[in-house]
Amino acid sequence: MIKLNDLIKEVMNVGDEYVGTARLKDGRQVQLYRSNEADSQSIGKKYGIKKNDYFLFVKGREAKYIVDTNTHILRKAAKWAQGYIQRKLSGTGNERFK
């Protein structure tokens, strides 16, 4: 997990392929992107995510961070993302989104 403080200033739709967004009940967003290392504006390239791998961009009230799914297969990445969201929502303390 890569915690980011000033990511909101960066344009996420430039360089990386947007796949979809999950909106949580409390207003937080979890967005799935596909890394594109060839583009100099790619957030995936900037934070060392392999080309064509998927990553989650989590936007909370206080924290914004990226979680690498470590796969280039969309179905596997989406299933992993669903499990990740469920684990974070059912956890307590540091496991939850911030």
- Is there a domain that residue 95 lies in? no
Q: 72 is in which domain, residue-wise? A: 2-90
- Is there a domain that residue 48 lies in? yes
User: What are 7's two structure tokens?
Assistant: 């990511």
> What span, in angstroms and rounded, lies between the C-alpha atoms of 83 and 89?
10
pLDDT string in tens for the chain (98-residue length) = 444 444 444 445 567 888 888 877 777 788 889 998 877 778 888 888 898 999 988 887 777 888 899 999 989 998 888 888 887 776 555 555 54
Q: Vertex 13, ends 9 and 17: CA angle to 5°?
A: 140
- Is there a domain that residue 98 lies in? no
- Is there a domain that residue 59 lies in? yes
Count of the separate structural domains present in the chain: 1
How much is the pTM?
A: 0.76
- Is there a domain that residue 97 lies in? no
Position 76 scores a pLDDT of: 92
